[in-house]
Amino acid sequence: MQSENPLIADFVKLLNGAAGTFAGMSREAGATAREKLREAMGGLDFVSREEFDAVKEMAVTAREEVDALKERLAALEGKTTAVDPGAAASDTAVG
């Protein structure tokens, strides 16, 4: 013989309903937050990984070219001072 209190049964039904409602609200809030984030991120100007890697590779190549040009300039400046050492001294004295 099982005794069932109608007050407890109603309370359990209320809690089950509330738990279902809260679970639904949680899912809805998560979906809304994801949608808002997508909208916010959609307005930003992002680059793809491939574009980033291409620009990075171009920067490395440019840096190598700059280093090569610096070495060439240093070599040319060395030749200039070797040919006319007086010119370099007079350039530094003017100033």
Domain co-membership, 61 together with 74: yes
- CA nearest neighbour of 77 among 94, 92, 62: 92
Domain co-membership, 69 together with 57: yes
Is 88:80 a contact under the CB 8 Å cutoff?
A: yes
Least confident of 32-36, 59-63, 82-86: 82-86
What pTM was estimated for this model as a whole?
Answer: 0.39
pLDDT tens track for 53-82:
999 999 999 999 999 999 999 999 888 776
What is the pLDDT at residue 95?
A: 45
Domain co-membership, 61 together with 79: yes
Is residue 26 a part of any domain in this protein? yes
Is 88:81 a contact under the CB 8 Å cutoff?
A: yes
Q: Containing domain of residue 20, as a range?
A: 12-45
Distance between CA atoms of 7 and 87, rounded to whole angstroms? 107
